[in-house]
C-alpha cells in the first residue's frame, strides 16, 4: 500500500488508508508516536503497537508505504524535501489477508481518526515493492498509458 500525503493527524491513530473487516483489518496511518504504522495479522498488537517505524513529516509532502511479506513488514517514508527514503522493518510473521472495505483519510474505529490534509496517488500492488521500487515511484512517478482507461472512455461516451 502506497500513498502520497501532505497533512497531519486529527488525533492519534488517524487513518491514511484503512480497510476494516474485523478481525482481518488493514490499516496504514499515523500512530500515537507520530510514526507510519499498520494493522495486520487479524488486528495483532505486534503490528499496530510496533514502535520502530519511521516518523511522518507534519504538513509536508511525503510518499508513505507499508510492504507486507510473509516474514516481515517494512514501513517506508520518502521525504521529498531531502530526497531521503527512511525504512524500518517489523520482523514478525504475517498471515495472508484480503484487504476489503477501503477508506481513504478515515478510520471508522474509535472516534474522529481523520487524516487532515491531502492524500494522492494511492497505489495497491499485488507484489511486495522494495526500496528501489519505492524510490523510483517517489522520484519518477508511475507512467500510465491513458488509452482505454475509464476517464478517457467516459469522456468519449459523453461526447456522443
Q: Count the domains in the chain.
A: 1
Contact between residue 130 and residue 136 where contact means Cβ atoms under 8 Å apart: no
Q: What is the pTM of this model?
A: 0.86
Contact between residue 137 and residue 125 where contact means Cβ atoms under 8 Å apart: no
Task: Specify the CATH number for the domain of residue 86.
Answer: 2.60.120
Reported as a single tens digit per residue, the pLDDT across 93-143 is 999 988 888 999 998 888 889 999 999 999 988 899 999 999 999 998 877
Reported as a single tens digit per residue, the pLDDT across 42-101 is 889 999 999 899 999 999 999 999 999 999 999 999 999 999 999 999 999 999 988 888
| Full DSSP string of 80-145 | TTTTEEEEEEE-S--------SEEESEE-SSS-EEEEEEEEEEE--SS---HHHHHHHHHT-----
* Domain that residue 138 falls in: 2-159
Amino acid at each position: 500500500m502506497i500513498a502520497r500525503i501532505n497533512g497531519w493527524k486529527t488525533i492519534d491513530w488517524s487513518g491514511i488508508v484503512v480497510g476494516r473487516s474485523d478481525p482481518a483489518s488493514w490499516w496504514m496511518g499515523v500512530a500515537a508516536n507520530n510514526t507510519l504504522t499498520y494493522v495486520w495479522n487479524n488486528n495483532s498488537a505486534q503490528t499496530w503497537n510496533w514502535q520502530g517505524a519511521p516518523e511522518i513529516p507534519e504538513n509536508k509532502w511525503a510518499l508513505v508505504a507499508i510492504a507486507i511479506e510473509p516474514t516481515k513488514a517494512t514501513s517506508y517514508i520518502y521525504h521529498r524535501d531531502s530526497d531521503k527514503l527512511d525504512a524500518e522493518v517489523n520482523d514478525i510473521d504475517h498471515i495472508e489477508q484480503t484487504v476489503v472495505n477501503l477508506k481513504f483519510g478515515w478510520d471508522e474505529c474509535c472516534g474522529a481518526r481523520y487524516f487532515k490534509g491531502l492524500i494522492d496517488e494511492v497505489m495497491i500492488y499485488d507484489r511486495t515493492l522494495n526500496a528501489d521500487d519505492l524510490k523510483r515511484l517517489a522520484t519518477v512517478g508511475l507512467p500510465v498509458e491513458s488509452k482505454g482507461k475509464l476517464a478517457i472512455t467516459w469522456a468519449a461516451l459523453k461526447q456522443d
